[in-house]
Amino acid sequence: MLQTQLIKKFFSTNQQPLLKGIRVIDLSRILAGPFGTMYLSDLGAEVIKIESFEGDETRKWGPPFANKEDSSYFLCVNRNKKSICLNLKSQEGQKIVHELVQKSDIVAENYSQGVTQKLNLDYETLNKINQRIIYASISGYGDTGPMSQSPAFDLVMQARSGFMHISGQPDGPPTKMGFAVSDVLTGLNLANGILAALYYRQVTGRGMHVKTSLQESSIGSLVNISSQYLNGGQAGRRMGNNHPSIVPYGVYKVKNDEYIVLGSATNDQFKRFCKVIGIEEILSDEKFKNNSDRVKNRVELDEIINKALQNFEAKQLTQLLEENKIPGGNIYNIQQMFEDEQVKHLQMAEEVESTKYPNLKLVRNPINYSEGIKAKMVEPPSLNEHCDYVLSDILQYSQNKINQLRDQKVIL
Q: What positions carry a catalytic annotation?
A: 183
Residue 205 CA to residue 207 CA, distance in Å, equals 7
The size of the chain, in residues, is 412
Angle between helix 267-277 and helix 314-323 axes, rounded to 10 deg: 140
**For the CA atoms of 301, 306, 311, 312, what is the dihedral angle to 10 degrees?**
100
Question: Which own/partner contact pairs does 193-202 have at CB distance under 8 Å and 24+ positions apart?
Answer: 193/136, 194/36, 194/40, 194/106, 194/108, 194/134, 194/136, 197/134, 197/136, 198/22, 198/105, 198/106, 198/134, 201/132, 201/134, 202/3, 202/4, 202/7
Report CA-CA distances (Å) from 323 to 57, 310, 329, 336.
48, 20, 11, 21
Question: 384 in the Ramachandran plot: left (φ > 0), alpha (ψ -120 to 50) or beta?
Answer: left
Widest CA span in the chain: 86
| Cα gap 35→357, rounded to integer Å | 20
Which of 125, 58, 60, 59 lies closest to 88 in space, CA to CA?
A: 125
**How is residue 271 annotated by DSSP?**
H
Cα of first residue to Cα of last residue in the chain, in angstroms, is 44
- Spatial distance between the Cα atoms of 185 and 36, rounded to a whole number of angstroms: 9
Phi, psi of 261 (to 5 degrees): -110, 150
Cα 111 from chain centroid?
19
Q: How far apart are CA 371 and CA 407, in angstroms?
A: 47
**C-beta of residue 328 within 8 angstroms of C-beta of residue 306:** no
Distance CA 6, CA 152 (A): 43
